[in-house]
Amino acid sequence: MTPSDPSGLTTEQSPARRVVAVGGLWMAAAIAVSLSGVLAPPQGAPPLRLFAAAGLPVLVFVLWYRSSTAFRRWILDLDLRLIVMLQAWRVIGGVFLVLLAFGLLPALFAWPAGLGDIAIGLTAPLVALALWRRPAWATGRGFLAWNLLGLHDFGVAIATGTLASGLFPGLVQGATAGAMNVWPLSIIPGFLVPFFAILHLVAILQARARAA
């Protein structure tokens, strides 16, 4: 007989190894691209390359989820509490406020992006605890709202980062958000933002599956 994993998929069918391989290649590529400086837009141009680096992985995830039954089953079988707890790393967004204090990032971007990340990061353990105590809470409005707020935080960060990028003269004084286009900060929109966005999508998809 063919060995199987806890999800009920055979070893050959389970995409776990493939996901790990793709994830590793994605991280390596994101670091290489960030180090190369190619994410920085030409002078006076919008950060379209950064948008692509942040958006394409999410698009690939959605397409993979919709087209592969094995991948979809594997995603829905992941430990939801672990998925939520990983969002606790979002507290690293507090670095935006530190850089603001040193005059290296503009307030227009640093305050909403930093506080939003900190809020999601600090509440992630509480959400995970609520799921551990009452798994059915995942199907409620509170859990959905928390995940949507986490995604909304990224939307706000992208919007304010664009506004504060220097494209609009006079909107910001002093430092712009241009530092987000180059290493090491470029790894945040280039890898961490889509990674955490995908985790939110996984949580929402699991919640919908449980409620069905």
Please provide the distance, in angstroms rounded to a whole number, between the alpha carbons at the two ends of the chain.
Answer: 32
In order of 48, 53, 207, the CA distances from 178 in angstroms are: 13, 16, 37
Residue 8 is predicted with a pLDDT of: 46
State which residues form the domain around 78.
16-211
For the chain, what is the domain count?
1
Residue 171 DSSP one-character state: S
Does 189 reside within a domain?
yes
Confidence of residue 168 (pLDDT cuts 50, 70, 90): confident
In order of 45, 89, 101, 114, 155, the CA distances from 111 in angstroms are: 24, 18, 11, 5, 14
Does 9 reside within a domain?
no
Does 53 reside within a domain?
yes
Residue linked to tokens 């286009």: 181
Residue 166 DSSP one-character state: T
Does 8 reside within a domain?
no
Reported as a single tens digit per residue, the pLDDT across 35-81 is 998 988 887 788 889 999 999 999 999 999 999 999 999 999 999 99
Does 2 reside within a domain?
no
Reported as a single tens digit per residue, the pLDDT across 109-165 is 999 999 999 999 999 999 999 999 999 999 999 999 999 999 999 999 999 999 998
Closest Cα partner for 204 from 115, 126, 142? 142
| Residue 19 scores a pLDDT above 80 | yes
Which residues fall within 8 angstroms of residue 177, CB to CB, at 6 or more apart?
Answer: 105, 106, 108, 109, 160, 161, 162, 164, 165, 166
Does 161 reside within a domain?
yes
Does 137 reside within a domain?
yes
Dihedral over Cα of 207, 159, 191, 26: its sign: positive
Confidence of residue 13 (pLDDT cuts 50, 70, 90): low
User: Helix, strand or coil for residue 11?
Assistant: coil
What is the rounded distance in angstroms from the CA atom of residue 42 to the CA atom of residue 203?
A: 37
